[in-house]
Structure 1
Amino acid sequence: MNTTPKVLAFDVFGTVVDWHGSIAAEVKRIGLDADPDAFATAWRDGYRPAMARVRSGELPWTKIDDLHRLILDDVLKEFEITHLTEAEKRHLNLVWHRLIPWDDTIAGLLRLKNQFTLVTLSNGNLGLLANMAKNAGLPWDLILSAEVFRHYKPDPETYLGVATIFDLAPEEVMLVAAHKDDLLSAGKCGLQTAFVERPLEFGKQMQRDDLAVEAFTTYHAKNFLDLADQLGC
């Protein structure tokens, strides 16, 4: 029988908020001459390679806001967009602070909060996550970030750092995420895991084919409301 977790740690981009839909909507709103879905995808595609440069030591510790800007500059060149002012580029880069939650997010988190301590465990930096929470009304008990641990997921220091902060055993922490590689890494560190389906994470044009139930996850939920049901909230 599984230990009842005390802390639920949430991946954020894609799990809690709709990064693709939010960025595509911003591209439309400001009238960029680019396919909104392609632009959003290209920007996100630079995310892992940029973090890998930090994790390998090629780059010193660099917060996600600054990595997002490096990637954005490359994407603007790729799409041959040259008319944005520096102020407009800075504002566009901060769209990551303004991402919109999934429809079930707020109600699901509020139910889960009645029974568990809710924290973020995101590669996003602290300022980004705080602004996002303020903008979207996300009811976190604590905002934790790779920035706190100076390690990006999937480094073990991130997952185990949550348990250390709360003076808990790893199995008393559960990672909630829409990404199986994140959950696999957390599970290897002894955390419980909950996979949440987000079929539209990459937009309607790119349906996910990785939503099947896996033996390595502790829970598998359609959304946060379903997870709350399973956890008796």
Structure 2
Amino acid sequence: MDVRALVFDVFGTVVDWRSGVAREIARLLGERVDADALADAWRGRYLPSMDRVRRGELPWTSLDGLHRASLDELLGEFGAPETPEQVRDELVLAWHRLDAWPDSVEGLTLLKRHHVVASLSNGNVALLVNMAKHAGLPWDTVLSAELFGHYKPDAEVYDGAARLLGLRPEQVLMVAAHTDDLAAARSRGLRTAYVHRPLERGPDAPPPPPTDPDADLTVGSMTELAHRLTS
């Protein structure tokens, strides 16, 4: 593969969203709610809220804005409707402070020796920049759905990433732990790599598929991906 740049899904692929969000819920709300259950329910609103933007039911809204609207609904459902505005704002910032999976920083550092490495996330730019600072993610640049006014899996996101990087689509490798993201990237001509993250949704959730047979590569870590691409 003549791959010049790698672009990465972030939530679940590079960072552990569930542990980080649940940790902040527990810190800010204490025992009033089940932190793991609220984190799962909040993530469960992720795709439906973006689909409302994609269908034109909502004007363009950043992921921070969508997260806040979902949170406001969920706090009532979880019996915490009295949660102050300041705490709600801080809860939304939990998504800015997620920890990397143990292999992510080392793997990205190895990969950027020979390739451009960039996010390609539905997270807004400020969220991704703050997350990179928190988790030590060594991006060469931050690419976000916000730059294109479209959420993945819209074609404009994948086309726009290749265009901004000045590369042909087949020179860009999309890396993700989600097969639907990879399928959308392939439909736009990008190469793809699947990262198996069995604990993304927690130890009790049904595990994701161990491989993506349609991807160019399937790996178990970012460090494995680096070794596969440089060996």
TM-score (norm 1): 0.96
What displacement does 1:27 show?
2.0
In structure 1, distance between residues paired with 2:162 and 2:124 = 19
Q: How does 1:60-75 map to 2 (within 5 A)?
A: 60-75=59-74
- The amino acid that maps onto 2:229 is L
What displacement does 1:73 show?
0.6
Q: Which runs of 5+ in 2 are unaligned?
A: none
Secondary structure of the equivalent of 2:118? strand
Could you report, residue by residue, the CA deviation over 1:2-35 in whole angstroms, capped at 9, with x for unpaired residues?
x321010000000011000111111222314122
Where does residue 46 of structure 2 map in the other structure? 47
In structure 1, distance between residues paired with 2:182 and 2:63 = 21
Q: How does 1:2-41 map to 2 (within 5 A)?
A: 3-30=1-28, 31-41=30-40
In structure 2, distance between residues paired with 1:209 and 1:109 = 23
Q: How does 1:87-126 map to 2 (within 5 A)?
A: 87-126=86-125
Where does residue 205 of structure 1 map in the other structure? 204
Where does residue 159 of structure 2 map in the other structure? 160
Q: What percent of counterpart residues are identical?
A: 49
In structure 2, distance between residues paired with 1:27 and 1:148 = 29
What displacement does 1:70 show?
0.4
Q: Which runs of 5+ in 1 are unaligned?
A: none
In structure 1, distance between residues paired with 2:77 and 2:197 = 28
**Contact 1:200/1:207 (8 A) holds in 2:** no
Secondary structure of the equivalent of 1:118? strand
TM-score (norm 2): 0.97
In structure 2, distance between residues paired with 1:39 and 1:199 = 20
Query: Root-mean-square deviation (CA), in Å?
Result: 1.1
**Contact 1:6/1:117 (8 A) holds in 2:** yes
The answer to which of 53-62 and 158-167 deviates more is 158-167
**Contact 2:197/2:208 (8 A) holds in 1:** no
Q: How does 1:81-230 map to 2 (within 5 A)?
A: 81-211=80-210, 213-230=211-228
